[in-house]
Amino acid sequence: MIKYSFYLIVFIIFLSLPFVSISQSHYPGMFLVSFTDKNQSPYSINQPKQYMSARAIMRRSQADIPIIEQDLPANPKYIDSLAFYGVQVSFSSKWLNAVLVRMDDSLNMEALLKISFVDSMQYLAPVKSKKKKRKKTARLKRVETGVQYQHAEYLKYGASDQQLDLIGLKQMHRKYLGEDIHIAVLDNGFRGMNKMSVFETLFDNGQVLGTKDIVNPQSSVFSAGNHGTYVMTTMAAFEPLVLVGSAPAASYWLIHTEDNTYEYPIEEFNWLVGAEFADSVGADIITSSLIYSTFDNPSLDHTHEQLDGKSAIVSRAAQIATEKGIMVFNSAGNDALKSWHTIAFPADAKDIITVGAVDMKAYYALFSSVGRSNNLPIKPNVVAVGKGVQSMSPNTGEIVSINGTSFSNPTIAGAAAVLMQANPNASIKELKIAIEQSASQALFPDSILGYGIPNFYLAHVLLNKQDVDDFKSSEGFTVMPNPFINDFFIVYNLIDTPSVSMQVFDISGKLAFEMNNLPNSLGLNLFKIDKVDALSQGVFILVLHIGDKKYSKKIVKK
């Protein structure tokens, strides 16, 4: 009996060894310490100027979004008291009511967990060695790599022409380029951006509102990675005849959240801190071409079952940001041909817009991560050019072709800034719905292209309901703009799929031109008519044939 007890004790000790070993491997490490409450906080929801900018407060007010306890910073008394237990405090989070700390041994954890206001602790990353840093390559492989502006009637897009035309943005650019819209860009750095010709106008006009380096607070975002630089070319570039972004007149916050030396959940926390900063300074839009799924330590990997929009730190952060009135965009990821296959985090957040990729001919890009077909909401939400995207190299200054949802996503985010500028009274929910309804497969979304390729001019029409309600429940059409100068659009609604053709007659009844085999998809169709150079100024009659039915409207060329 004594011998049996001895072996039983030895066996129990042996079983416990792996747990001790794994636990000890976390030290020294970075941990998220969550608090139970915000009691006795020096901050008040009645005095938001203590922790939010005037622009952020105004954005909340205009959207009728109240400032609540969740918006209060974590209690500084709680944070300060942690130092007594031998931990080094880093960034804190108001939305999660938590703080990031460095912990050197398990005794610190045992002591902290006994504090009444400490709710829980989560390991996020090892402490990085200052002597040796490993360059991270896996992440970069996944994501290959008062202002006066000319508007589109004079603007030559250069290499950007086709990728912007595919989403109906050039027509919007005739009046809107994203002025007064603030976009926060969360990425791995913006190396070389401040020396590139396509961004000279951006810096000269003060459209870079500021920078924040969360990964290396003492460093510069312009000396970190250059993935963010490529991202910015799709939105903010402005060099006519060379490259033009989707929102060249918007203003930008450049935020470094992605650590290029390793892959750990701490980067999700960095993203959260970046999103909270964007909220506090009053950003209207957050765009992120970062995704998270697996890590350098496999025991920390996410699972597909967690794709519920609320399990991962970064997904919770993205969803909360939308609830604060920020329009959030995130790339779907490039894992369709890899074992992960689906979208990752935070692309699963319910109310953000997740963007997949197509090529210049509007065909699905095979690498673009897909959604989970049995899940709602639809993910990805929409797609744009992500294969063969025209960008500029920060190394050579030459136009280059790059691939990845990393670049379709900011193109859409910039386009949304243009739509937001054009519709200042629309809520972010209304903007999102209009973008989805304007897309190429709005009536039959799927888990590959989502609602399809959006048309931002049609989204603008939908938001303004310009004659759309007259035919949205039956057949009919409208012409925009009318009068027109160089080209115009026809918008028509189909309740089945008949043949569609059109004829244009002058005032005497003479046929000026005709077109057959117009798009005939179910629902709203938008078709651009740009073969009108031969038409002289004056009044014409446009006749639209939908199956055996005929509709007509007067159009005017100025």
Most confident of 164-173, 182-191, 499-508: 182-191
pLDDT-derived band of residue 520, with 50, 70 and 90 as boundaries? confident
Q: Considering only 1-10, 29-38, 311-320, which range has the smallest mean pLDDT?
A: 1-10
138-464 CATH choice from 3.40.1280.10, 3.40.50.200, 1.20.140.10, 2.60.40.10: 3.40.50.200
Among 143, 91, 82, 137, which residue's Cα sits nearest to residue 113? 82
pLDDT value for 466: 58
Q: Which residue has the higher pLDDT, 264 or 155?
A: 264
Q: pLDDT category, 145, cuts 50, 70, 90? A: very low
Q: Is the model's pLDDT at 471 over the cut of 70?
A: no
Asked whether the beta carbons of 435 and 426 are under 8 A apart, the reply is: no
How far apart, in whole angstroms, are the C-alpha atoms of residue 324 and residue 254? 20
Q: Is the pLDDT of residue 505 over 90?
A: yes
| Overall average pLDDT of the 356-363 stretch | 97
pLDDT at residue 444, as a whole number:
87
pLDDT the model gives residue 182: 98
What's the rounded mean pLDDT across residues 5-14?
Answer: 44
Instruction: Specify the length of the chain in residues.
Output: 558
Interacting residues of 310 by C-beta distance below 8 A, sequence separation 6+: 316, 319
**528: exposed, middle or buried (C-beta count within 10 Å: 0-12, 13-18, 19+)?**
middle
- Contact assessment for residue 178 and residue 421, using Cβ atoms and an 8 Å cutoff: yes
Give the confidence band of 40 by pLDDT, cuts at 50, 70, 90: very high
Q: How far apart are CA 465 and CA 378, in angstroms?
A: 25
**pLDDT-derived band at 522, boundaries 50, 70, 90:** confident
- How high is the pLDDT of residue 461? 87
Strand order across the 29-35 sheet: 88-93, 98-103, 29-35, 118-126
Phi-psi region of 97 (alpha: psi -120 to 50; beta: other; left: phi over 0): left
Decide which of 186 and 13 is more confident. 186
Residue 24 has pLDDT above 70, yes or no: no
Looking only at Cα atoms, what is the longest distance across the chain? Answer: 114
The pLDDT of 499-517, averaged and rounded, is 92
CB burial of 461-496 (b: ≥16 within 10 Å; e: otherwise) equals bbbeeebbeebeeebbbbbbbbebeeebbbbbbbee
Q: What is the mean pLDDT of residues 449-471?
A: 81
Could you tell me the pLDDT band of residue 23, with boundaries at 50, 70 and 90? low
The mean pLDDT value for 240-265 works out to 97
pLDDT at 269: 98
Could you report the per-residue pLDDT of 255-284, keeping only the tens digit for each?
A: 999 999 999 999 999 999 999 999 999 999
Decide if pLDDT at 234 tops 90: yes
Instruction: Quick: pLDDT tens for 169-196.
Output: 998 998 999 999 999 999 999 999 999 9
Alpha-carbon distance 270 to 261, whole Å?
14
Instruction: Compute CA distances 23 → 18, 88, 99, 126, 544, whole Å.
Output: 8, 19, 21, 12, 72
Helix (H) or strand (E) holding 489: strand 488-494
* pLDDT tens for each residue of 368-411: 999 987 778 999 999 999 999 999 999 999 999 999 999 999 99
Which two tokens mark 333?
């990821």
Distances (CA, A) of 419 to 157, 307, 464, 490, 523: 19, 29, 11, 19, 22
- Position 229 scores a pLDDT of 98
Q: How much of the chain, in percent, has pLDDT values that exceed 70?
A: 89
**What radius of gyration do the chain's Cα atoms show?**
27
d(CA 59, CA 285) in angstroms, rounded, equals 11
Residue 14 has pLDDT above 50, yes or no: no
Tell which wins on pLDDT, 144 or 436.
Answer: 436
Distance of CA 472 to the CA centre of its chain: 30
**pLDDT one-digit tens code per residue, 295-343:** 999 999 999 999 999 999 999 999 999 999 999 999 999 999 999 999 9
Say what the pTM is: 0.86
In the block, tokens 């972004």 appear at: 245
Pick the CATH number of 468-557 from 3.40.50.1820, 2.60.40.3080, 2.40.160.10, 2.30.42.10: 2.60.40.3080
Contact 523, 443 (CB under 8 A): yes
- CA dist 144 and 501 (Å) reads 42
**Are 412 and 167 spatial neighbours (Cβ–Cβ below 8 Å)?**
yes
What is the spatial distance between Cα 332 and Cα 203, in angstroms, rounded to a whole number?
Answer: 30
User: Are the C-beta atoms of 537 and 520 separated by less than 8 Å?
Assistant: no
Beta sheet of 523-529, edge-to-edge order: 476-480, 488-494, 523-529
Average pLDDT estimate for 525-538:
84
Position 1 scores a pLDDT of 45
Q: Is the pLDDT of residue 252 over 90?
A: yes
Q: What are phi and psi of 20, to 5 degrees?
A: -65, -45
Sign of the Cα pseudo-torsion (22, 24, 28, 32, in order): positive
The pLDDT, as a whole number, for residue 127 is 93
- Sequence-distant (≥ 6) Cβ neighbours of residue 44 within 8 angstroms: 50, 72
Query: Can you give the pLDDT at residue 130?
Result: 64
Would you state the structure tokens that stand for residue 150, as one six-digit string? 């000319």
- Helix spans in 261-350 (H): 266-280, 313-323
SS3 4: helix
Kindly tell me if the per-residue pLDDT of 139 is higher than 50: no
In this structure, what token pair is assigned to residue 16? 């416990």
Output the CATH code of domain 25-50+68-126: 3.30.70.80
**pLDDT given for residue 9 in this prediction:** 45
Predicted local distance difference test score (pLDDT) of residue 21: 36
Residue type for 558, please?
K
Domain positions in the chain? 25-50+68-126, 138-464, 468-557
Give CA 492 to chain center in angstroms: 30
Q: Distance between CA atoms of 348 and 180, rounded to whole angstroms?
A: 29
Residue 18 is inside which H or E element, if any? helix 2-24
